[in-house]
Amino acid sequence: MLIGRIEERAAIDRLLAAARAGKSGSLVLRGEAGIGKSALLDHAAAAAGQELRVLRGAGFEPEMELPFAGLHLLLRGAVDAIDTLPGVQARALRGALGLEPGFNGDRFLVGLAVLTLLADLAERRPLLCLVDDAQWLDHASAEALLFAARRLEAEGVVLVFAAREDERAFPAAGVPDLHLTGLDPAGAAKLLARYALAPRARERVLREARGNPLALLELPALLTEAQAADAAPIHAFGIDARPAPGRVHRAFRDRIARLPEAARTVLLVAAADDTGSLDVILTAARTLGADLADLDTAEAAGLVHVGDGRVTFRHPLVRSAAYHLASLVRRLAAHRALAGTLAGRPGDVDRWAWHLASAATGPDEESAAALERSAEHARARGGHAAVAAACERAARLSPDPRERGRRLTLAAAAAAEAGLYERAGELADQAAADVADPQVLAYLARTRAMIAMAHGEPERAHALLAGTAEAVIGQAEDVAVTLFFDALTPAWIGSDYAALAKTATRVSTLPSTKTGPLRPMTRVLAGMGGLAGEEPPAGLAWLRDMIEGLRDRSEPAELRERAQLAIWDLVIGDDTKAHERAVAIERQCRDQGAIGLLPLALALVARSQMFLGLHREALASAEEGLRIARDTDQGYYAALLVGVLTYLAAIEGDEERCLKLAAQIADVHDAATGGIRCVSLNLLDLALGRPETALRRAEAFGTVGPAARTVMIMHRMPDLVEAAVRAGRPRFAAAASERVQMWAAQTPSPWAGAVALRCSALLAPDEDAERYYEEALRLHLRGGRSFERARTELLYGEWLRRLRRRADARHQLRSALDIFDRLGARPWAERARAELRAAGERQTGDGRAPEGLLDRLTPQELQIIRLAATGLSNREIAAQLFLSPRTIGYHLYKAYPKLGVASRAELARLDLDEGGPLAWQ
């Protein structure tokens, strides 16, 4: 019976009740060893009764380097259900569990497969998953389970983790946690009452245990009969300065020390083993002189349990005590025995390699090579953290310094891929002293640059790449050029335009870049160098030629390369092509389960949708991308997506939301995010009638900062032209307009020319302004950026009204108002309405556009509704949106009444096209 823990039990019971009602939830129980976490998991399992299916797993410290070991243990009773998953998810999960070798998919795809599997299992009855000692889960299992936990919503699934107090050992952002403290005095006394202790002995144990339940149960075993009866003094438990878990650990050590040597040996082998297999443990123990009878002695002492062919320790502290009580010589012998037992056994190659390495006492190439092969197995299963651990250990065992440097480089890269940047940096620093080969140096430089970018240090990333390029240029010029090319991105992001221009110039002097396969890289560098030197005529021309040349050939097969092309499409202002390319990449990411790349794809989709006037769609894309970016710990892409949301809030005039979002990216200074933040705040001030504020920000931001080096200038400077005109600062307006004209001349998109003409109209005398406005509108009608078209119409309508040409003004203002209303640009729509009233148009009602049916949907509901309308099943939609089928059904259930439909058949009759009004067909 569980004593106390009323609040903790209530929290678990609420999760179970919600699961019975079809809701999902998750919880992390945190506390010191022995505090009662496992007991609460037992309570959860008992409270689940027959109504919930229960899956139990745990992390084991010796298995932390084996990818997906913890996940395999949790799902061992449900592997048959994997076959029902969507194909790519099933292959990913089978590959992770070692059931389908050779599949190497996106590492986050395993998390999606786990989510779908748990949801499927909950279809018949609610599901409870309990994971003990989560701080010892291997990184890949923890990542997959937490990815699923953060996306559970309406499946009837509960995930409860028990972990040590230190949150660094099991970081679980986005999952609620509950911290356990010791039992209160009454509960502690009640638990201790099962022992016949005299008053002074009872008081001493209570004081030493500090409410830790396991300590309350184990410390009395250290007392002699006389001490328990208060007939002999209790000098100390020997470790008074230690917290309760230390005392418990000492209690277990003392109990093990009293066992016969052979029983201690079999316990040591079991502690060194990471399978729990009775066969493996006994086979290894026999080589060291122990046998089944000795294991029986250990079980009789209450230290292990043997059953179903497995050996289970009573508590993780027993395992730790059994292992660390032994001398180094005996521990090495145990690992040698286990390595000999596992040698040649199918499926145990990785465990054999680790035991072989653990038995090594110095440099050993055989063990190092075995570990490197183990790392390749882990890489094929997506276990990057396991790759890092295996390669690092292999490096330590390498007799050859060059091999040591190469393996440390591999370890650093794998740690970075796993998001373990601090560890990756340490490994990279250690590798540097032993690396001389140009290819390995380049790999190490790219890894160190990745780490620098993750820490928000683009200048350092550029310096690492460019510096390594210079170092290897005499040995491998082709390697050097690719490093210079890689150095382009961090220099651009960090607004280090001098470094970028210098790099472009340096590459242009190399003979190998004049022709051949390196030529495209040289052209890109030349184009970006031109932009860095504020030479848009040269820079944009180079980039445009390069992009057009690539379009004439087949698209790159690599999704990330294609994403880079979409970025360049946006740089040169080709919104339509960027949108087409980004949508294609997004679809492929979904089809292939490439969740790690999806935030970038959605950032590109959202930006292009935003520029094309598809604001509702941009909101849905950005919110989904942001959720995934945060789930996958990709801060750079998260910042890009927050920037999109900031801009959309500015257009809507939602000042509170805009400022809140802008504050989230205030410390991000790359060209893309910093630029859009500045543009958003300027636009908000302009919309709310604060032109002077926008101008002051422009002066503080500078006219040569990130937003002045790309086509982003076509978003920023026109706003400043209008703000300066309204603030009565013609010289500022003229200077800003000049920059707009220069960039628009090199941007063939009609919208850019139209905006430049609008700026000219604002500064022109009345006799010339109309000509500029009319020409601008003719260009707007050729397509692109409806928000900019509406702004041109608004300004033209205001100009016409001031000249008392009210009928002409009303025509322009009505068109502008329609677009502003459709886009939800409230302050701009209010300004257009005010001008219409001033122009003599009578309006009825409250002057607000009626709410459309689509306006009632959340962005996520809109996504789901559109996919459902195409005939996709809930399961197919879930695979597209990386959610569970039950969550899809939940959102459809909420969306149908908002649209006045009751089925997919009725939904299919609605016009749900992007940007169009909702109507019955």
Rounded Cα–Cα distance for residues 345 and 339 (Å): 10
Output the CA angle 124-98-877, nearest 5 degrees: 45
Range in 255-269, 548-562, 573-587 with the lowest mean pLDDT: 548-562
Residues 412/464, Cβ–Cβ less than 8 Å: no
821: in domain: no
Number of other residues whose CB lies within 10 A of the CB of residue 730: 13
Closest CA to 458 of 195, 629, 757, 671: 671
Residue 616 covered by a domain: no
Residue 247, token pair as written in the block: 């005392």
The count of other CB atoms within 10 Å of the CB of residue 267 is: 31
Dihedral, 723, 726, 730, 735 alpha carbons, nearest 10:
20
The answer to whether residue 694 is domain-embedded is no
**Residue 316, pLDDT score:** 76
Q: What is the DSSP string of 836-856?
A: HHHTT----TTSPPPPPSGGG
Q: Other C-beta atoms within 10 Å of 273: how many?
A: 25
Q: Is residue 704's pLDDT more than 50? A: no
C-alpha distance from residue 311 to each of 77, 256, 273, 285, 836 (Å): 18, 16, 10, 13, 82
pLDDT at residue 103 greater than cutoff 70: no
Q: In this predicted model, which residue has the larger pLDDT, 448 or 708?
A: 448
Q: Residue 100: which CATH number?
A: 3.40.50.300
Average pLDDT over residues 756-777: 95
**Within this chain, do residues 323 and 271 fall inside the same structural domain, yes or no?**
yes
Are 146 and 238 found together in one domain? no
Place of tokens 């020390």: 257
Distances from the Cα of 918 to the Cα of 223, 853, 877, 911, angstroms: 79, 7, 21, 5
Tens-digit pLDDT profile for residues 373-413? 888 877 776 677 788 888 988 999 999 999 999 999 999 98
Q: Is residue 494 part of a domain?
A: no
Average pLDDT over residues 519-531: 64
The distance from CA 453 to its chain's CA centroid, rounded to whole angstroms, is 15
Crossing angle for the helix pair 199-209 and 185-192, nearest 10 degrees? Answer: 120
Task: Name the more confident of 217 and 131.
Answer: 131
Task: Report, as an integer, the average pLDDT of 606-631.
Answer: 89
Dist. CA 482–CA 469, nearest whole Å: 8
Residue 317: band (very low, low, confident or very high) from pLDDT cuts 50, 70, 90: confident
Select from 412, 435, 458 the last residue of a domain. 435
| pLDDT for 251 | 77
pLDDT in tens, 207-227: 877 888 887 887 787 777 777
- Say yes or no to pLDDT of 538 above 70: no
Given 150, 179, 208, which residue is the final one in a domain?
179
Letter string b/e over residues 548-576, b meaning 16 or more CB atoms within 10 A of that residue's CB:
eebeeeeeeeebeebbbbbbbbbbbbbbe
> Is the pLDDT reported for residue 667 higher than 90?
no
Residue 438 pLDDT exceeds 90: yes
First-residue to last-residue Cα distance in the chain? 64
Question: Starting from the edge strand earliest in sequence, which strands make up the sheet with 53-58, in order?
Answer: 53-58, 127-132, 157-163, 25-30, 177-179
Say whether 605 sits in a helix, a strand or coil: helix
Which CATH number characterizes residue 270's domain? 1.10.10
Helix H or strand E encompassing 821: helix 806-823
More confident residue, 33 or 663: 663
Q: What is the CATH number of the domain that holds 893?
A: 1.10.10.10
Query: Do 117 and 246 fall within a single domain?
Result: no
pLDDT tens digit sequence for 442-453: 999 999 998 888
- Whether 97 and 175 map to the same domain: the answer is yes
Q: Considering the chain, what is the average pLDDT of its residues? A: 84
Exposure letters 407-431 (e unless 16+ CB within 10 A, then b)? bbbbbbbbbbbbbbbebbbbbbebb
Same-domain status, 234 and 151: no
Strand 310-313, strand 304-307: pairing: antiparallel
276 vs 653, which has greater pLDDT?
A: 653
In a 13 Å sphere around the CA of 811, the CA atoms on its Cβ side amount to 5
pLDDT in tens, 854-901: 677 887 888 888 888 888 888 888 877 878 888 888 888 888 888 888
The pLDDT of residue 755 is above 90: yes
pLDDT value at residue 815: 94
Residue 814's pLDDT is what?
Answer: 93
Instruction: Flag the least confident range among 217-221, 440-444, 466-470, 527-531.
Output: 527-531
In a domain, residue 299? The reply is yes
Residues 172 and 223 in one domain: no
At residue 238, does pLDDT exceed 50? no
Contact in structure between 677 and 685 (CB atoms under 8 Å): no
DSSP 781-801: TTSS-HHHHHHHHHHHHHHHH
Tell which wins on pLDDT, 718 or 705: 718
350 φψ region: left (φ > 0), alpha (ψ -120 to 50), beta (else): alpha
What's residue 915's pLDDT? Answer: 45
pLDDT value of position 852 = 61
Higher pLDDT, 540 or 59: 59
- Taking only the tens place, the pLDDT of each residue in 566-603 is 777 777 777 888 888 889 888 888 877 777 788 888 99
The answer to whether the CB of 754 falls within 8 A of the CB of 735 is no
Domain membership of residue 316 as a residue range: 260-344
pLDDT at 921: 33
**Looking at the structure, do residues 267 and 290 belong to the same domain, yes or no?**
yes
Which pLDDT score, from 0 to 100, does residue 843 have? Answer: 62
Domain match, 245 and 282 both: no
Structure confidence by residue, pLDDT tens digits, 164-178: 887 777 888 889 999
CA angle in degrees (0–180, nearest 5) for 476-477-480:
95
Burial (CB count <10 Å: 0-12, 13-18, 19+), residue 531: buried
Q: Among residues 435, 457, 487, which one ends one of the domains? A: 435
Residue 36: partners with Cβ closer than 8 Å, 6 or more residues away: 2, 5, 180, 183, 213, 214
Does residue 771 belong to any structural domain of this protein?
no
Are 88 and 592 spatial neighbours (Cβ–Cβ below 8 Å)?
yes
Any bridge partners for residue 160, and if so which?
27, 130
Please report the pLDDT score of residue 555 as a whole number: 53
How far CA 155 is from CA of 120, 205, 343, 459, in Å, comes to: 8, 46, 43, 46
| Residue 140 included in any domain | yes
Average pLDDT, integer, range 443-471: 89
Looking at the predicted structure, is the pLDDT value of residue 644 above 80? yes
- Mean pLDDT, range 787-802, rounded to an integer: 94
411 and 272 inside one domain: no
Residue 439 has pLDDT above 60, yes or no: yes
Percent of the residues in the chain that have a pLDDT greater than 90, as a whole number: 38
Count structural domains, the chain: 5
- Whether the pLDDT of residue 500 is over 80: the answer is no
553 domain-assigned: no
Tokens of 137: 């889960």
Write the pLDDT tens digit of every residue in 62-95: 778 788 889 999 998 898 899 888 888 888 888 8
Q: Hey, which residues does 467 pair with through a beta bridge?
A: none
Residue 163 confidence (pLDDT) above 70: yes
CB proximity list for 219: less than 8 A, separation 6 or greater: 205, 208, 209, 237, 247, 248, 251
Whether pLDDT at 647 is above 90: yes
Angstrom distance (rounded) from CA 747 to CA 531: 13
Clarify whether residues 282 and 165 are in a common domain.
Answer: no
pLDDT in tens, 272-304: 987 788 999 999 999 999 999 999 999 998 899
State residue 210's pLDDT score.
81
Residues 269 and 408 reside in one and the same domain: no
| Residue-level pLDDT at 42 | 93
Residues 283 and 243 occupy one common structural domain: no
pLDDT category, 105, cuts 50, 70, 90? low
Q: What share of the chain is helix, strand, coil (3-state, %, to 5)?
A: 65, 5, 30
Indicate the burial class of 634 (C-beta count within 10 angstroms; 0-12, 13-18, 19 or more). Answer: buried
